Amino acid sequence: MVYEKKIIKCDSIEEYADILRSFIGKYYVNEWGGYFGGPNYPQPCVCMNTRITRDTIKRLADGMGDTNPLFRDPEYAKKTKYGGIIAPPYWTFSITYGVYPEFATPDYSSLYVGDRLTWYQPAAPGDKIDYKSAWPTSVEIKQTRTGGQTVFCDGVHLFQRHQGGIPLVRHEYTTCYIPIKTANYSKMESGREKKEYTQEYIDSIIAAQDSEKPWGSTPHWFEDVRVGETLDPIVRGPFSLSENNIWIYAAGQYFFSSDRLHRMVHEQSGWGFYQPEMNIWFNLHENSFDDWGGVREHSGSYVPGGFGSQRASWVMLMLNNFASDEGFLWKLNLQHRRKGGFHNVFWTTGVITDKHVENGRCWVDIDVKIEDQTGALLLKGDAKVILPSREFGPITYPSPERAFDKFFTK
């Protein structure tokens, strides 16, 4: 398919929303839309990985600081019910996640603001992953405190095992688009500000990290869990370029390719950030690397320091540590409230709020959040984790509650 170069300026946010609505009902299979890079961009436009392998699993676990032997040690994993290594629940982010629209305009800044995931079965080395994406599935204009009038778009990815078409994960997500000229990013930190921490505080981070241990092969029995019980936290920081870039490496994100390919994106869509001293256009996420806020000063947009997908994965890591080898992360609903920022410390915590038994399936509800060192809320949400039971036995994996291809029927 040949895509015509079409950089469009929108006169109003209502016009932009109407254009986005025109793409409702369009879907993509195993790739992103081709418009963004245009006809010169090498096809197919695949986001990240297409297969689950032992190497991609290790790369993800290393990028997360995840020490779980179920994802690393073949001899350990051989003795579990799986009979071998499996992938951590955040493997979906290494295939694809919230994407840019088929139609893009440089007048609007994109933010990733929500995740709603449901897992049906684990993935393992040897799995080839097929996915379908629909974006957007809905478009709505809302008034927000930070960005004023903002376009909110929902989308969905459906992941399945190529072998047999077995459903694995449903991932619904929300992105929003803010007019760059009216967004009040100038009131936010640029990313250059350096924090000072006492040795005592750094020691508390190290102690928390040293306590990050997976529950392991001993079942975490449903009967032993109490409402009000807290989970062992996941702590990352002071956040650095290393932690930022290792996530890019771990997930293999499409955005971070050569400047030559990003120039094709800019020529096609107009997206990018102009640097007047060098007289060049930076790529969309140049601010995520060593610029540390300089691009924002030129563009009036973006505050660097981490990714929503990375923070969501910290939550998954905490929940999976809690579940034990015999448990299963079933559902996760997250709201991303603000960006991260270099030099900050991020505390991921959870508390059990309820317990359920239904048709022999036992699960717990868990409220989760991420706060920085000041107590500012970056992310909040809730999860459901299925646990083994002494009374009802091992877990049973869930089935899709609704038609798995709801958004893709014609």
Rounded Cα–Cα distance for residues 383 and 272 (Å): 36
Residue 99 near residue 23, CB atoms below 8 Å: no
Q: Which residues pair with 336 in a beta bridge?
A: 379
Q: What is the pLDDT of residue 8?
A: 64
Q: What is the pLDDT at residue 112?
A: 86
Q: Which residues in the chain come in under a pLDDT of 50?
A: 1-3, 186-188, 190-191, 290-293, 298-302, 410
Token reading at 207? 């102690």
Q: What is the pLDDT of residue 245?
A: 82
Paired with 114 in beta bridges are 174, 335
pLDDT digits 0-9 by tens, 251-302: 876 666 677 887 787 787 777 766 667 777 776 665 555 444 455 554 444 4
| First CA to last CA distance, the chain | 21
Burial class (CB within 10 angstroms; exposed 0-12, middle 13-18, buried 19+) of 227: exposed
C-alpha dist (Å) from residue 183 to 143, 244, 249: 12, 24, 30
Using CA atoms, how far residue 408 sits from 131, 317, 403, in Å, is: 12, 31, 10
pLDDT of residue 274: 67
Question: Interhelix angle for 54-64 vs 308-323, to 10°?
Answer: 100
**152-201, pLDDT tens digit by residue?**
999 999 999 999 989 999 999 999 888 777 665 544 454 456 678 999 99
Q: Which amino acid is at 115?
A: D
CA distance 159 to 88: 15
Q: Answer yes or no: are the C-beta atoms of 185 and 301 closer than 8 Å.
A: yes
Q: Which of 321, 319, 312, 249 is nearest to 69 (CA)?
A: 321
- Cα separation, 95 vs 123, in Å, equals 12
Give the start-end residues of each E strand in 162-210.
166-179
Secondary structure (DSSP) of 231-267: PPPEEE-S--HHHHHHHHHHHT-TTSS-HHHHHHHHH
Residue 216 CB partners (closer than 8 Å, separation 6+) = 69, 324, 325
Task: Name all domains of the chain by residue range, CATH numbers in brackets.
Answer: 13-396 (3.10.129.10)
> pTM for this one?
0.92
Which of 152, 151, 150, 153 has its CA nearest to residue 136? 153
Q: What is the pLDDT of residue 297?
A: 52
